A = this chain, B = another copy of it.
Amino acid sequence: MSVFDVVFGKPLATSAEHDEHIGVAAGIPIFGLDGLTSAAYGPEAAMQLLVPLGIAGVSAYLLPVFSCILVLLAIVYLSYRQTIEAYPNGGGSYTVASENLGDGAGLLAAAALMIDYILTAAVGISAGVTALVSASDGTRISHTMHHYQLAFCLLILIIIATVNMRGMKESGFAFMLPTFIFVGTLVTTIAWAAYQYWATGGHPVAVAPPPPPEVGVSTFTKVGLVWLLMKTFASGCAAMTGVEAVSNGVTAFREPRAKKANQTLTIIIGMLIVMLYGLSWVAKIYHVTAMNPDAHNYQNVLSIEVAAVFGRGWFYFLTMGGVLAALSFSANTAFADFPRMARAIALRDYLPHVFILRGRRLLFSHGIYALTGFTALILIIFNGVTDRLIPLYAIGAFLAFTLSQAGMVVHWLHTKDAKHRFVKLFFNGLGAVATGITLIVVLVAKFTSGAWVTALLVPFLIIIMTTIKRHYRRVKLETADPTPLRLSGLEDPIVIIPMARWDKISEKAMRFGLLMSETVKVVHIHGDEQDALGCVWDKMVADPVREANRTLPELITVSSNYRTILSPLMDYILKLEDENPGRKIAVLLPELVVRHWWENLLHNQRVQILKLLLLLKGNQRIVVVNIPWYL
């Protein structure tokens, strides 16, 4: 077994596909990590905006805002359940939108989701690493850790990519433990806080008291307050990204696919709702406010909450460790979905066809390569610090949600025989309207802080995809051949053999040329040196051919004033082609094949350049025959 096999797993036969399908237990870490980890940063994102309102603001508005978000989440959940049932062969937003709303809407969804997935991967990894690096602040290794931030990010990217190259199933197992610790510790925290609340009659005492609010309470006009709450809502919606992941990956599940996928989705959403609502509630009862991220003793809300409930003991560190791991590996969801989506898009000719191919482990490997490449690019450009990209990707997610739900509405309108058709229509319609409104809110609230980048990128990606489609359509049109093989007009080609001297390589080419055609033209480019070929031509070539009563090959000697070989040769070939319309030209290129790579340095690479020139400047009638000579 090679090292390659050890790292990436042995190749899997196509017939082994069945064994690679996953169940609910593997589905949760694979498709859920992205959504679940939203609980770690969603409340924080919303609470940052409530800071000017002080503790009273958190008490008064945090739970209502998150209730809105959870209602929206529930609607989206119900909508996606229906999508999964209706599209058991994979109902990603792209598929649903393009099948029901047309190619345009499909491309819009595709562009939005491509941006979303790439950013999810980059931001997830970067968030985990940032948390890890921050944890070292104040210690002796802090400087080193900051220095290697990007290196850590790329290392985690490579780990995730490698695990994913091994296959769906393996990545499910690999990321199960971090997911379990993440969810387990947070739910335990919430449960213990609830018990304390009950035990103390509604006034629990923080073990490690939260820091006091840093800024004074500002007053707001009514409009100002509404705008603030809208922005809070928009920020909190970051917690909803990743919900569409399961619907896109239905085909990864064992049969009954749709059922397994829906069970997975239900568990993920259930856990997410518990965590989001629970953590908001803990913030309220422990009077937690968000801290200014630039403060020197900054802690995030999650850290303050866990410390308040349990103090800074081993459980605190276990929880924080779980958060770190889960965040870093949340990129895995993008790795599960992006290749599937890219394949769906490529099947409709809007992306390169390599995305359709399945690699040695039955995965769409090129999707993994592409995602890894783009993610690495973004991490490198932003040097591993991607906080500023967060506003960008909620847009992508909500655009995809809206198009998917709207597509489902059209689907139910056309599917006249579905059971409970109008109930389904209602839920998908509600989902479409709700996510559509949210999209507008997020776009408006976040436009200046980065959402405009997405607004520019989406049309750019759509242009690329339509250009690709146009290319494939043209190739198909030009090469499609609905007629049987024509056998008329099969005329021998004119054979051209460039020859510098008479040797075994030349002889081999001559023999092959005489086999191919009666018309053989040997071209000798003649610089300022002696005409070595002309001297021996009669003896070596002409005489034996005459004796055998065959048509004599023609020797054409071209003198080269500027000592170049290739351009007079190309000129001659193109001229001959021009003078013989309708005839094929076969250029025979004798080529020396050396044993070691370095030996190529000792021979001019004219044959290689000539091949390239013939390919670039040639046309349908010019064919190149390589006659290799092995030393």
Bound-state CA distance A451–B625 (Å) is 53
Are the C-beta atoms of B544 and A484 separated by less than 8 Å? yes
The answer to whether A487 touches B625 (Cβ under 8 A) is: no
When distances are taken between beta carbons in the complex, the residues of chain B under 8 Å from A417 are: none
Is A502 interfacial (CB 8 A cutoff)?
yes
Within 479-498 of A, Cβ neighbours of B (below 8 Å) are at 479-481, 483-487, 490-493
Would B527 and A505 count as touching, CB distance under 8 A?
no
Q: Which residues in B have their C-beta under 8 angstroms from that of A14?
A: 527-528, 561-563
A546 to chain B, nearest CB (A): 10
**Interface membership of A478, Cβ < 8 A:** yes
Tell me whether A6 is interfacial, beta carbon within 8 Å.
Answer: no
Does A514 count as interface, using CB distance less than 8 angstroms? yes
Given known contacts A14-B527, A599-B471, A623-B626, A478 and B493 CB-to-CB distance under 8 angstroms: no
Nearest-CB residue, chain B, relative to A619: B630
- Residues B478 and A631 in contact, CB atoms below 8 Å apart: yes
Asked if residues B493 and A481 are in contact (CB atoms below 8 Å), the reply is no
Q: Is A147 an interface residue (CB 8 A)?
A: no
A475–B604 CB distance below 8 A = no
A267, CB-defined interface residue at 8 Å:
no
A516 within 8 A of B: yes
Which of the residues B354, B474, B484 comes within 8 Å of A604, measured between beta carbons?
B354
**A615 touching B593 by the CB < 8 A rule?**
yes
A521 contacts B by Cβ under 8 Å: no
Cα(A511)–Cα(B493), bound, Å:
12
Give CA–CA (A506, B591) in the complex, Å. 26
A615 with B602: in contact, given A14-B528, A357-B563, A515-B493 (CB under 8 Å)? no
Task: Tell me the complex Cα distance, A631–B475, Å.
Answer: 7
- The answer to whether A543 has its CB under 8 Å from any CB of chain B is yes
Q: Is A421 an interface residue (CB 8 A)?
A: no
A348 within 8 A of B: no
- Report A349-376 residues with CB < 8 Å from chain B CB: 352-354, 357-360
Indicate which residue in B487, B508, B561, B631 contacts A548 across the interface (CB closer than 8 Å): B487
Within 8 A of B (CB), among A516-573: 516, 527-528, 539-541, 543-545, 548, 550, 561-564
A516 contacts which chain B residues (CB < 8 A)?
515-516
Please report the C-alpha to C-alpha distance between residue A377 and residue B188 in the assembled complex, in whole angstroms: 63
A1 on the interface (CB 8 Å rule)?
no
Q: Are B563 and A358 in contact (CB under 8 A)?
A: yes
Chain A positions 146-177 with a Cβ under 8 Å from a chain B Cβ:
none
Which of B503, B550, B624, B627 meets A479, CB within 8 Å? B503
A595-631: CB near B (< 8 Å → 1, else 0) gives 0000101111000000100011011101111111111
> Does A468 belong to the interface (CB within 8 Å)?
yes
Task: Output the nearest chain B residue to A517 by Cβ-Cβ distance.
Answer: B515
A620–B628 CB distance below 8 A: yes
- Asked if A540 contacts B474 (CB within 8 A), the reply is no
A541 in complex: contacting residue of B472, B475, B484, CB < 8 Å: B484
CA distance A607 to B168 in the complex (A): 31
User: Would you call B514 and A487 a contact (CB within 8 A)?
Assistant: yes
Beta-carbon contact of B487 and A544 below 8 Å: yes
Separation in Å of the A461 CB from the closest CB of chain B?
A: 15
A620 and chain B: residue at smallest CB distance: B630
> Which B residues are in CB contact (< 8 Å) with A622?
628
A20 to chain B, nearest CB (A): 13
Known interface pairs A490-B514, A630-B619. Does A484 touch B625 (Cβ–Cβ under 8 Å)?
A: no
Q: Which of A360, A516, A564 has the most CB of B within 10 A?
A: A516
A406 CB, min distance to chain B CBs, angstroms:
30
Report the nearest B residue to A357, measured CB to CB: B563
Q: How far is the CA of A347 from the CA of B12 in the complex (A)?
A: 55
- List the B residue with the shortest CB-CB distance to A358: B563
Contacts of A353 in B (CB 8 A): 602-604
> Shortest CB–CB separation between residue A166 and chain B, in angstroms?
16
Asked if B626 and A562 make an inter-chain contact with CB atoms under 8 angstroms apart, the answer reads no
A580 within 8 A of B: no
Residues A561 and B13 in contact, CB atoms below 8 Å apart? yes
Looking at A475, A483, A561, A604, the one whose CB has the most chain B CB atoms below 10 A away is: A475
CB nearest to A618 among chain B residues:
B628
Q: A463 to nearest B CB, angstroms?
A: 13
User: Cβ of A625 and Cβ of B624 under 8 Å apart?
Assistant: yes
Contact B511 A486 (CB under 8 A): yes
User: A211 near B: Cβ within 8 Å?
Assistant: no
Contact assessment for B620 and A485 in the assembled complex, using a CB-CB cutoff below 8 Å: no
How far, in whole Å, are A527 and B550 apart by their CA atoms in the complex?
47
A360 surroundings in chain B (CB, below 8 A): 562-564
Give bound CA distance, A68 to B515, whole Å: 75
**Shortest distance between the CB of A478 and any CB in chain B (Å):** 6
* A296 on interface, CB distance cutoff 8 Å: no
16 additional contacts, CB 8 Å, given A11-B562, A481-B507, A623-B625?
A14-B528, A14-B561, A352-B602, A360-B563, A468-B602, A475-B631, A481-B504, A481-B506, A485-B510, A490-B514, A491-B515, A516-B516, A586-B625, A615-B626, A618-B628, A620-B629
14 A-B pairs whose Cβ atoms sit less than 8 Å apart in the complex: A15-B561, A353-B602, A475-B603, A481-B503, A481-B540, A484-B540, A485-B545, A486-B507, A487-B544, A490-B514, A508-B620, A512-B623, A591-B615, A618-B630
Chain A residues in the interface with B (C-beta under 8 A) = 11-15, 352-354, 357-360, 468, 471-472, 474-475, 478-481, 483-487, 490-493, 502-508, 510-512, 514-516, 527-528, 539-541, 543-545, 548, 550, 561-564, 584, 586, 591-593, 599, 601-604, 611, 615-616, 618-620, 622-631
